[in-house]
Amino acid sequence: MYFSPALVLAALPFLVAAAPFEERSRNGISIPIAKRSGFRNANGAVDIAKLQAGRQLTVAKIWRGFEAFEKNTGAAHPSAPRLKRSTKRGNGNRLIDDSEQLWYGSITVGTPAVTYTVDFDTGSSDLFLPGSNCDSTCSGHTLYDPSSSSTSSDAGQKFELKYGDGSTVSGEQYTDTVTLAGFNATRQRLGVATTYSSGFQSDQFPADGLLGMGYESLSSYGASPVFQSLVSQGQVSTPVFSFYFAESGSELYIGGTNQALYTGPFTYMPVTTRGYWEGLFDSISVNGKTVFGRERAIIDTGTTQVIGDARSVQAIYDQIPGSKDAGDGTWTILRNFNTPISITFRGKAFEISPSTFNLGIASGSSDCVGGFGALDGLEFWIVGDVFLQNVYTAFDLGYDRVGFASLA
């Protein structure tokens, strides 16, 4: 399916409403989420190799989105030249965070409805599930059987999603009814996998599938993502979803914001291109000193760390007493780390607490792992959980912006 750049820019005018969404956020539904750390070894220490692998998969995911954007719009994504190809990622449903980069919970699909767990990922745009005819790579997951759903229809198209480890998720595209937090998206496009990559096998990936929450222009299917479908079909009156990440009481809120969880006004980062939830931050500061200024950033709930290029990340750690380069884009910090670090958006500085910046003791070391990581060839930033745990974050599809507010 082809979308001209003009169509992409004009795709969602019906989503814009006159009143700010904060005044219309009472009709949403929250989904509780809980946190679990999975990049640690049996002794509870941080496995640096797993952390590095996670960064590689994140960038592979971003690159795949760039390819889908160009296929769908006929134009290269503005940030694509800034990434070298050689850099190879409701209702009371319980969500869990695995590897501190995976927030997953229940949706239902089909008629009669069957429950599946999916990773909610703002860094991608498609939904896929393991199919009933999937090979042994899908063992341990709940399988989707199109023949058992009266609302399922074969879309007559294949799909293949490539990952940084050289493996793929591939299969057939279908449409069916998908229910998220009690809201129904009918004739929703989804991928039904016949093969899972190693990273999505049950011992590595506890969710059954993945539900992308980016823009349609990133869809490898060239189809509307689930949340956008909920809005266009009138299921969600407020085109906003929000995340609150904490040690307890975390939630994904569909259809607005939960005003009990934040205080004060939102600070908005305008989305520069409808694809990723991407915009500009003003600066990153360490101990009150600006290390560098205005840069592009993708806000990605599917990423653990805050990721930048090696030179910029090194400049940050140079300002942190006792930090050491552990190699492979990872730095260690002292156990008693308490250096103030903040990211400023639109004139508002949001501090990253020492407890979220410190990922824990590094395996084989007496030091801890720092929350910023690096990848060569990356010329923009990917802002993940290390930052997002410190703010309440609203993704506003109607006004094309990401809002950050201070936690209550």
Tell me 83's DSSP state: B
Pairing of strands 341-345, 283-286: antiparallel
| Whole-Å CA distances, 368 to 235, 250, 383, 387 | 45, 25, 20, 17
| Distance in angstroms (rounded) separating the CA atoms of residues 49 and 378 | 19
- Give backbone dihedrals phi and psi of 266, rounded to 5 degrees, phi first: -80, 150
Q: Which of 47, 121, 176, 396 is catalytic?
A: 121
**C-alpha angle 223-208-106 in degrees, rounded to nearest 5:** 80
The token duo for 127 is 């939904």
Pairing of strands 306-308, 372-374: parallel
Q: Is 97 a catalytic residue?
A: no
The token duo for 99 is 């590897």
The token duo for 268 is 């908005």
Pairing of strands 168-180, 153-162: antiparallel
Q: Is 126 a catalytic residue?
A: no
Nearest to 386 by CA among 22, 84, 90, 58: 58
| Distance in angstroms (rounded) separating the CA atoms of residues 395 and 268 | 10
The token duo for 335 is 């156990």
| Single-letter code of the amino acid located at 389 | Q
Q: Which of 126, 208, 300, 396 is catalytic?
A: 300
Nearest to 368 by CA among 351, 381, 350, 386: 386
Nearest to 397 by CA among 302, 276, 306: 276
Tell me 344's DSSP state: E
- Catalytic residue numbers? 121, 300
